[in-house]
Amino acid sequence: MRKRSDMFNSPHRPAAAAAIAVFLQAAAGAAFADAGRLGGELTGVGAERAASKDGIIPAYGAPDAHLPGWTPGKKREDFFKYKSDKPLFSIDATNVDKHADKLSPGQVALIKQTKGYRMDVYPTRRTCGNPDFVLENTRKNAAGAAKLGEDGWSLKDAVVPGVPFPMPANGAQAMWNTKLKYAGVGIDMPKVLVALSPRKGASEWVRASTTQIYYYPWGKKGSTALSQLPPIEYHTYFAYEAPTALAGQALVYAAYTDKASETFYYFPGQRRVRRMPTYSYDAPQVGFENQYTVDEPRVFNGTMDRFEWKLVGKKEMFIGYNAFGMYDPDAGFDAVAKSDFIEPAQRRYELHRVWVVEATVKQGVRHVAPKRTFYIDEDSWSLVAADDYDAQGKLWKLREAFVIPVQETGSCDNPAFVQYNLLEGRYLFDQGPLATGKDLRWVVEANEPKFRDAYYTADNLRAISER
């Protein structure tokens, strides 16, 4: 056998090196050629620019969602250019089979089994854009700057803020696109009502008044290599204000790009902060009767390492879009929170193209929902819906999030979502300002303490909890 040193000194080495160089040049050329599709047949973030064959989904143009004059404190919907749109038709139990090919299995099941449920469908408005620096960073990523880790799920590098993989080759890449979609440096949620509908036969809602903050360290304007930043997907702060049994409890949570999340929890009765290593993945959230897991907010809130991610393809689907009714702080709770669903008038649906990603739990790993199907809007990379299946393979939960164009960021976001437990007939909603009296606030400059890393430490959690 030839020694390794002999191999490196082989007369064939120059030829081999030349072959490798040619291969790398070809690969780089292919990447740049793909990147050239952005801004042409594809939008700047990788969506199909063309209209659908039947014209129901229009061709993508310059987004023009907002009327001038909005300032914080004014109602967002009043400045939506298409506020006067009327529903084209409604989908309910009488006609759901006719539209089933453009719905998820969970949506079909919900409509069929829920008396009075209705989905109002409006004209499709492609209102989601992004700032120029996000589009420029996305082009760099498409040319090869973005890379997954060797484990197949972690994110090794990308130019941020930008879409890492605008033309995804696998499910993990598509999921990172939704995790790193641009929403400024964070969202301040001064008051969020988390509400869980009553058990069947009962009338008492579970309601929790909370304060929530999301901070995206990579969301600052400009262009930065993710590998030059701490490996943080986001930080969050969460504090209960009500009910009395939970008031004062609070946590800080760090989601990482390359490892499992980390949670520190403050217990006011003990005046202590504890690390909660198991408060992640499918652990039940405190206070919600085992109806709500840690990784369910925002449709998917978790580390991706427990699942295999398969990119199924794309489909046309009715999804919550331009749904400003889900972000109305002045809506009355009783007017919008019906016993089995949110009032239909609050939920605007449109036909859009979505990416479909299947998540299957890995062998040797457990999760209460071992199979999940996710649906991602092509224009904004917003995670708009998910179907969860239980250990017996039964369709179990449906989550829907509601996209709106955001005045502060020049992009779209969709924190407000609803989750339906199809087996138990209960639902919950979270992370919107619905019926709270206080709007959300998207932030684009990290000029406040709550949008700095130091805010999300165990020591600071105790300090702000004991003020």
Give the separation between CA 55 and CA 124, rounded to whole angstroms: 10
- In a domain, residue 195? The reply is yes
Give the separation between CA 367 and CA 397, rounded to whole angstroms: 14
Average pLDDT value for residue range 416-439? 97
Query: Exposed, middle or buried, 69 (CB in 10 Å: 0-12/13-18/19+)?
Result: exposed
The helix (H) or strand (E) run that includes residue 224 is strand 224-225
pLDDT (tens digit per residue) in 361-380: 999 999 999 999 999 999 99
Dihedral sign, CA of 364, 365, 368, 371? Answer: negative
**Is the confidence at residue 459, as pLDDT, over 60?**
yes
Percent of the chain with pLDDT over 90: 91
- In a domain, residue 369? The reply is yes
Structure-token match 């979502």, residue found: 417
Give the separation between CA 45 and CA 380, rounded to whole angstroms: 8
**Is the confidence at residue 25, as pLDDT, over 50?**
no
Percent of the chain with pLDDT over 70: 93
Q: What local confidence, expressed as pLDDT, does residue 467 receive?
A: 83
- In a domain, residue 74? The reply is no
- In a domain, residue 10? The reply is no
**In the structure, what pLDDT confidence band is assigned to residue 21 with cuts at 50, 70 and 90?**
very low
Q: What local confidence, expressed as pLDDT, does residue 3 receive?
A: 42
- In a domain, residue 431? The reply is yes
Give the separation between CA 401 and CA 379, rounded to whole angstroms: 15
CATH number of the domain to which 137 belongs: 2.50.20.10
- In a domain, residue 23? The reply is no
pLDDT (tens digit per residue) in 314-353: 999 999 999 999 999 999 999 999 999 999 999 999 999 9
- In a domain, residue 211? The reply is yes
**Is the confidence at residue 121, as pLDDT, over 50?**
yes
Range of the domain at 351: 81-465
Number of structural domains found in the chain: 1
Closest Cα partner for 81 from 317, 407, 416?
407
Least confident of 17-26, 165-174, 302-311: 17-26
- In a domain, residue 58? The reply is no
Average pLDDT value for residue range 96-101? 98
pLDDT (tens digit per residue) in 287-320: 999 999 999 999 999 899 999 999 999 999 999 9
Q: What local confidence, expressed as pLDDT, does residue 302 receive?
A: 87
DSSP letters spanning 385-426: EEEEE-TTS-EEEEEEE-BEE-TTTSSEE---EEEEETTTTE
Structure-token match 């995670």, residue found: 383
Q: Helices (DSSP H) in 77-167: which residue ranges?
A: 96-99, 105-113, 132-140
Q: What local confidence, expressed as pLDDT, does residue 22 receive?
A: 43
**In the structure, what pLDDT confidence band is assigned to residue 454 with cuts at 50, 70 and 90?**
very high
**In the structure, what pLDDT confidence band is assigned to residue 15 with cuts at 50, 70 and 90?**
low
Collapse the DSSP code of 160 into the 3-class scheme (helix H, G, I; strand E, B; otherwise coil) and give the result.
Answer: strand
Average pLDDT value for residue range 218-239? 98
Residue bearing the bigger pLDDT, 360 or 16: 360
Give the separation between CA 255 and CA 233, rounded to whole angstroms: 5
Average pLDDT value for residue range 176-191? 98
pTM over 0.85? The answer is yes
